[in-house]
Structure formats: structure tokens, C-alpha cells
Amino acid sequence: MLSKKQKFSSIGKKVLMALTGFFLMFFLLQHLSINLLSVVNADVFNKVSHFMGTNPVVQYVLQPVLIFSVVFHFAWGMVLEYQNNQARDVKYAKYKGNANATWMSRNMIISGLAVLAFLAIHFYDFWLPEINTKYIQGDMSGMKHGSDNFRYHEELVSKFAHQPIRVVLYIVAFMMLSLHLLHGFQSSFQTVGFNHSKYTPILKKLGNLFAIAVPLGFVIIAIYHYNSQPH
């Protein structure tokens, strides 16, 4: 039997996972919305990207919170997984992993690590060059060298256009993200104590929709630009 204090601290630890998870899901939605603009209208995508890339609130408030959430969610997830494994070895010698949980819920650490591996590649592709241009070279203009056209849309297209390996890698990562969200979305609401006979089933359906539609949106962007003409 867990003591009250142990129960509280284990729920407290999960709450921090849920809160950072909420923020990351909010980020995913805005990231998808902005990137979908790249498919619809290059000019609008360029303008919104420039605003997001130079606005001080986004750069110095939201971006540090985002980076903190990614690092925290990953590191804390590893700690909780380790502690759960320890507890399971000692207390539940007869634990049968597949008896009462879905594949997704038992393998959050695997899908999470796959998303993290994707983020490493993704940062190398997009984020580091952006930091380099803006904060190391000091060029905040958002313009292509020697021209008065924005560079964002062109840079994005050049990463995907006729680049089969990157497109396939990204699509595999989006599928892993989907598996992670299929459990993570509804689990985070459950952790913060949302439990209602009428609304919990609706929330589960909404969670499945989010977990499929958001990664699918990213897949569409990658495939669309695979077929784009590089500038």
C-alpha cells in the first residue's frame, strides 16, 4: 500500500508532465497552423514567420518556455519511467504489461524518444540555422541575401523538395508523435483530475481526433513540399 504522502507525490510528479504536455500540445497546434500557411500562400507564410521570428514576446517569453517544456517533459518522463519500473519490479512481480493497458500507454517512453530524436534532426534543419542568421550573424531583416524578398518560404521548401530521405524520416516521426498523443492527450486531462461521466468520453474522442489530425497535417505539409519546385 502506498502512503498518502507517496500517492500525493507520485500524482504531483505526473501533474508536471501533464502541464508541460498541455503547453506542448498548444505549441503543436500553432506550429501546424503557421506551417499550413506555407502550403496555402507563400506571402502570408513569410509575413507570419517574420512576425513570429522577430516579436520580442515570442522570442524572449514563449520560446524559452517552449524549450524549457521540451527539456523538462523529456527529462521528467525518463525519471518517472525509471521510478515506475523500480516500483513494478518490487511490488508487482506478477505485473502483466498487456493485461490492462494499451500499447500506446505502455510505450510512451519509446514514442517519446522517437519524437525527441526527430526534434534533434528538426532543430539541426530549421532552428539552428535560424538562430545563427538572427543572433550570430545579427541579420534580423528576414530577407534573402541581396534581395528584398523574404527568405522563410524558400528555406522551408528547400528542405523538402525532392528530398526523399528527409520526407520519409519526418513522416515516420509524425506517426510516432501520433502514437504518443493517442495516449498523452487524454492522460494529461485525467492526471489533472478531469473526470466527468458525460464529458470524459467526448474528451477521449477529441483526443483521438487531435492525435490523428495534427500529425496528418504535418504529413501533408512534408509531402506537398516534396513535390514543390525548389527556388
Chain residues binding ligand HEM by CB under 6 A are 31, 35, 53, 63, 66, 70, 115, 122, 126-127, 130, 156, 170, 177, 218, 221-222
CB of 145 to ligand HEM, least distance (A): 18
Q: Of 6 and 33, which has the nearer Cβ to ligand HEM?
A: 33
* Of residues 165, 171, 208, 173, the one with CA closest to residue 189: 208
CB of 81 to ligand HEM, least distance (A): 19
Q: Which residue of this chain has its Cβ atom nearest to ligand HEM in the complex?
A: 126
Q: Of 10 and 63, which has the nearer Cβ to ligand HEM?
A: 63
CB of 56 to ligand HEM, least distance (A): 14
Q: Can you tell me the distance from the alpha carbon of 72 to that of 70, in angstroms, rounded to the nearest whole number?
A: 6
Q: Chain-centre distance of CA 172, in angstroms? A: 14
Q: Can you tell me the distance from the alpha carbon of 173 to that of 175, in angstroms, rounded to the nearest whole number?
A: 5
Q: Rounded to whole angstroms, what are the CA distances from 190 to 118, 171, 182, 195, 196? A: 27, 29, 13, 6, 10
CB of 115 to ligand HEM, least distance (A): 5
C-alpha cell recorded at residue 183: 495516449
Q: Of 55 and 102, which has the nearer Cβ to ligand HEM?
A: 55
Q: Of 42 and 70, which has the nearer Cβ to ligand HEM?
A: 70
The strand ranges marked E within 4-74 are none
